[in-house]
């Protein structure tokens, strides 16, 4: 099955009761039993729900994994992944990680003895150099947020495999339409489904997709034992959003390429971060491991003046000033004070996340309107 067919059909069957084409919202907390322990495979809705099952089967197919397990947010999915580690063990992560992922590692898991090491993974050899006896997991985010750096997933996985270390790839920015980390050697894929998968800025949800069936047990256990589960209505909305994933991401990528080209020529703009440029240091890797360059673009300003950046961010009309990304509508944001506010300034500057850095999540509107909006705001 090809991707555009998978998003619509994989793992989804018409409802056996009515023939409904759309998976019904099984809005129930429990299921009747014929006799104690005799049931149809559903006992209690934290543990199993048919709407959630359809979504999980669909997500597993989109990422070419053995199973998918959904959680109530991307960060609760991440929490389930980090729970594979024991106190004293270490996770090596990309150094310009999503702010919330960084905060969870250093402010939550560190208290329980999980160690973190953040390295520049744009050179995979830096990962090899950072590995210690305690390293049990490598956490990759690519393209990175908000600098749009590219990590060579295959090269990192090769280094990890030599030492029997698990690799988890946060594939939120690319979406499964553009990149499938399991095909490149990753053991686990994480999604904040809140972003491209849902695509309509109306659901918060996370998912873990595993390469091997044997790894599913841990995540099903955490899903049930910790209980950060998505509700059936959210699972329905997610299934609906996914049906147009390929169309949305394709259009958003086309729009982003045009916007990046326009920004690059603008006299007020200092640097544009976009992996589609041949001059981008990760361009060749992106060409190899992605099927498009994504719809995220970030740029900073000559003079690096926050007030000028603020003026631009409050002057756009179609680009809404908001956190998040991956929806049909275009968003504009200021990573230093918004998504990455929890990262100390010195750490931010080290990775090029300057005070005037502006991040765009390019949506699927008509690109002429988006360009006109930016032209006015930058003018």
Ligand X SMILES: *Cc1c(COP(=O)(O)O)cnc(C)c1O
Instruction: For residue 123, indicate whether it is catalytic.
Output: no
CA distance 27 to 356: 46
Residues 295/361, Cβ–Cβ less than 8 Å: yes
CA distance 203 to 209: 19
When asked if residue 201 is in the footprint of ligand X (CB under 6 A), the reply is: no
Instruction: Give me the catalytic one of 115, 136, 195, 359.
Output: 195
Contact region for ligand X (CB under 6 A) — 25-33, 116-124, 168-176, 356-364? Answer: 168-176
- Up-side HSE of residue 190: CA atoms within 13 Å toward CB? 25
Residue 176 engages ligand X in binding (rule: CB under 6 A): no
Q: Which stretch binds ligand X (CB under 6 A): 110-118, 188-196, 278-286, 370-378?
A: 188-196
Under the binding rule (CB under 6 A), the answer on residue 50 touching ligand X is no
Strand order in the sheet with 188-192: 67-71, 206-210, 188-192, 166-170, 135-141, 90-94, 115-119
Write down the catalytic residue from 96, 152, 170, 355.
170
Question: How many CB atoms neighbour CB 369 within 10 A?
Answer: 11
Cβ–Cβ under 8 Å, residues 59 and 51: no
Instruction: Please indicate whether residue 46 is annotated as part of the active site.
Output: yes
Question: Would you say 73 or 378 has its CB closer to ligand X?
Answer: 73
Q: Please provide residue 141's backbone torsions phi and psi, each rounded to the nearest 5 degrees.
A: -125, 125
Query: Among residue numbers 143 through 162, which ones bind ligand X (CB under 6 A)?
Result: 145
Judged by CB, which is closer to ligand X: 73, or 354? 73
If one asks whether residue 175 binds ligand X (CB under 6 A), the answer comes out as no
Site string for ligand X, 80-119 (x = CB under 6 A): ------------------x-xx------------------
Which residues have a Cβ under 8 Å from the Cβ of 162 and sit 6 or more positions away? none
What is the distance between the alpha carbons of residues 196 and 327, in angstroms, rounded to a whole number? 6
Residue 170 catalytic?
yes
Position 179 contacts ligand X (CB under 6 A): no
Give 290 or 378: the residue with its C-beta nearer to ligand X: 290
The bridge status of strand 331-333 relative to strand 115-119 is unpaired
Closer residue to ligand X in complex, CB, 282/301: 282
Interface with ligand X includes 207 (CB under 6 A)?
no
Which range of residues in 16-24, 31-39, 166-174, 275-283 is near ligand X by CB under 6 A? 166-174
Helix (H) or strand (E) run with residue 348 in it: helix 345-350
Please say if 195 is a catalytic residue.
yes
Catalytic residues: 46, 98, 170, 195
Binding site for ligand X (CB under 6 A): 73-75, 98, 100-101, 141, 145, 170, 172-173, 192, 194-195, 204, 206
């Amino acid at each position: 099955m090809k991707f555009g067919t998978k998003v619509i059909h994989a793992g989804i069957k018409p409802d056996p009761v009515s023939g409904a084409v759309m998976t019904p919202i099984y809005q129930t907390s429990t299921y009747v039993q014929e006799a104690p322990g005799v049931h149809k495979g559903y006992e209690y809705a934290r543990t199993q729900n048919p709407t959630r099952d359809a979504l999980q089967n669909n997500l597993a197919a989109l990422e070419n994994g053995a199973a998918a397990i959904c959680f109530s947010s991307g960060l609760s999915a991440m929490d389930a992944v980090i729970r594979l580690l024991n106190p004293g063990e270490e996770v090596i992560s990309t150094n310009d990680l999503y702010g919330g992922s960084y905060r969870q590692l250093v402010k939550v898991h560190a208290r329980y003895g999980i160690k973190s090491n953040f390295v520049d993974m744009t050179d995979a050899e830096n990962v090899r150099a950072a590995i210690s006896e305690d390293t049990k997991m490598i956490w990759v985010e690519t393209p990175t947020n908000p600098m749009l750096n590219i990590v060579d997933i295959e090269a990192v996985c090769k280094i990890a495999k030599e030492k029997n270390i698990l690799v988890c790839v946060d594939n939120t920015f690319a979406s499964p339409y553009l990149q499938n980390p399991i095909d490149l050697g990753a053991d686990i894929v994480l999604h904040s489904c809140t972003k491209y998968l849902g695509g309509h800025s109306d659901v918060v949800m996370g998912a873990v997709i595993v390469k091997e069936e044997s790894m599913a047990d841990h995540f099903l256990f955490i899903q049930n034992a910790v209980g950060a589960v998505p509700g059936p209505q959210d699972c329905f909305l997610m299934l609906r959003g996914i049906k147009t994933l390929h169309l949305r991401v394709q259009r958003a990528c086309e729009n982003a390429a045009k916007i990046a080209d326009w920004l690059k020529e603008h006299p007020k703009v200092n640097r544009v971060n976009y992996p589609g440029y041949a001059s981008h240091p990760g361009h060749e890797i992106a060409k190899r491991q992605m099927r498009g360059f994504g719809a995220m673009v970030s740029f900073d300003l000559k003079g690096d003046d926050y007030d000028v950046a603020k003026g631009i961010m409050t002057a756009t009309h179609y680009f809404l000033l908001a956190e998040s990304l991956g929806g049909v509508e275009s968003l504009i944001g200021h990573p230093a004070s918004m998504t990455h506010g929890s990262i100390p300034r010195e750490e931010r500057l080290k990775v090029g996340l300057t005070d005037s850095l502006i991040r765009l999540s390019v949506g699927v509107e008509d690109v002429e309107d988006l360009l006109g909006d930016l032209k006015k705001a930058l003018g």
